[in-house]
Amino acid sequence: MSILPLSLLLGESSSPRLRLPRPSRTMQFLPVAAFLLDAVLATIATLIGFAARDHWPFWSNDLAEQVGYAAPAVVVGWLVAIWLAGGYSTSLFDAGTDEFRRVARATLATAAAIGVGAFLLRFPLSRGFFVLAFGLGIPALLVGRLILRRGVQRSRRHGSLSHSVLIAGMPDCIDDVASVLAREAGLGYRVVGALTPTITDQTAGKVPVLGLCTDVVEQVRRSGADVVFIAGGGVTCSAEMRQMVWDLEPEHVQVIVAPSVSDVSGNRVHVRPVGGLPLIHLDPPGAIDAARWGKRLFDVVGAAVLIVLLAPLFGYAAARIWLHDRGPVVFRQVRIGRDGQQFSCLKFRTMVIDAEARLARLQAETGHSGGLFKLAADPRITKPGRLLRHFSIDELPQLFNVLAGDMSLVGPRPPLPTEVARYDDITSRRLHVRPGMTGLWQVSGRSDLSWPEAIRLDLYYVDNWSMFQDLSILLKTFGAVLNSRGAY
């Protein structure tokens, strides 16, 4: 997504007829809050380096007063480097990793500059001070920025620190953008209206149409919007886009171009200007990479280690199930794996012995028509089964499926044959990789997700696989299991 940051609109709406949500005035204080946080953390790291260097005398080769002169200069230079790197740009506080990259690069650049400068000037800067200050400073600044972002996202979900957004484009494209912004509430983008090439009351997604795309300046003034998204059909040519940006410049709004590219990770998108024309390059989907030996080796080693570490939990779960009704401990169910191959998926039994026989009646009673069938209060679940499901302990036997090569630690949810029989060509892409014990569906709400949303997440994973994403999902899985959202 190409962003042209101009600034934020802070003025009042000039129209007495419209009472639309206003952009948050507190947005202007976010860069200030980030600067103050960085200043405090950089100062603390520098003071620790100054105070603790004497505990490593083999690192120290200067007088205390010399480091005392250098310490304030280090902090000032550090903050200036972050500012020059764009670390306090308002657009950084929305999403993505650009904020953390800029802070980390500025910190490394500061360390390099100080190290080279001390050498050239023959300034006897303590190596202990240097290593401690920057060794502690880098993680401290990144963690501080992460905490600040989490606080901003939490506030945005409650309606604060938000942007007011106008979307210009064709109605279908407007709905696509609006649905993403609604789903990612932590970004703080509140859609106040849309602009279309031809006037209408509202889009199919119930976004109110305020006027024509050519009226963007007037509608920005009337609605008080501080962000304009240009979706597909919003402009017809590059000259019209350039003129729109020029017209909006005096209004101090942020212009964001949302091309007709969705569910593509940032790692696959590269913008390369050619002759003044920004060309968006998309790398091929990552389904092939997701099947390579590196992921398989990670799965085998990870599953083996987890089986050994969780052996006591396996024993506890098996004992609870058997003592409850003396029935089978393990439940086997046919699932579909990679390339449509069937396999026997293992789980600890959490339902009554005749659960499968009762399934058809429950589906008829609830009006189930397709997709995965799950009830928040399924009467077939046993008392120990509820505990096992609450913390996803029932899925631990699938570690043996991982060892056998039927599943992966991370991947799409393993579907039933009846589900696969209803797949269309698009949904069938989720069968290009091994199904996983956990995945984006697990860390995004599990059974609370709608069927289309679950499929969308699985397809996103298949097309945008990376080992870093797998590790991120595994870490988030622990939080999802403890939170137990959608676990039933």
pLDDT tens-place values along the chain, 488 residues long: 333 333 332 233 333 333 334 445 556 678 888 999 999 999 998 888 777 765 655 444 444 555 566 778 888 999 999 999 988 887 777 777 788 889 999 999 998 888 888 778 777 766 777 788 888 899 999 999 999 988 888 888 887 778 889 999 999 989 888 888 888 888 888 899 999 998 888 888 889 999 998 889 999 999 888 899 999 888 888 888 888 888 888 888 888 888 776 667 666 777 777 776 777 777 777 656 666 788 889 999 999 999 999 999 999 999 999 998 888 999 999 999 998 999 999 999 988 887 776 766 766 666 655 555 566 667 788 888 888 888 888 999 999 999 999 999 999 989 989 889 888 888 898 898 899 999 888 787 655 667 777 888 888 888 888 888 888 888 888 776 766 554 54
Strand 163-168 relative to strand 189-196, pairing? parallel
Amino acid at 178: A
Encode burial over 366-375: b for 16+ CB neighbours within 10 A, e otherwise. eeeeebeeee
Residue 474 CA to residue 468 CA, distance in Å, equals: 10
Residue 484 CA to residue 391 CA, distance in Å, equals: 6
Encode burial over 300-333: b for 16+ CB neighbours within 10 A, e otherwise. eebbeebbeeeeeebeebeebbeeeeeeeeebee
Tokens of 99: 């904020």
Backbone angles phi, psi at 20, to 5 degrees: -100, 160
Q: What one-character-per-residue DSSP string does 154-187 give?
A: HHHHTT-S-EEEEEES-HHHHHHHHHHHHH-GGG
pTM here is 0.64
Residue 111 CA to residue 42 CA, distance in Å, equals: 12
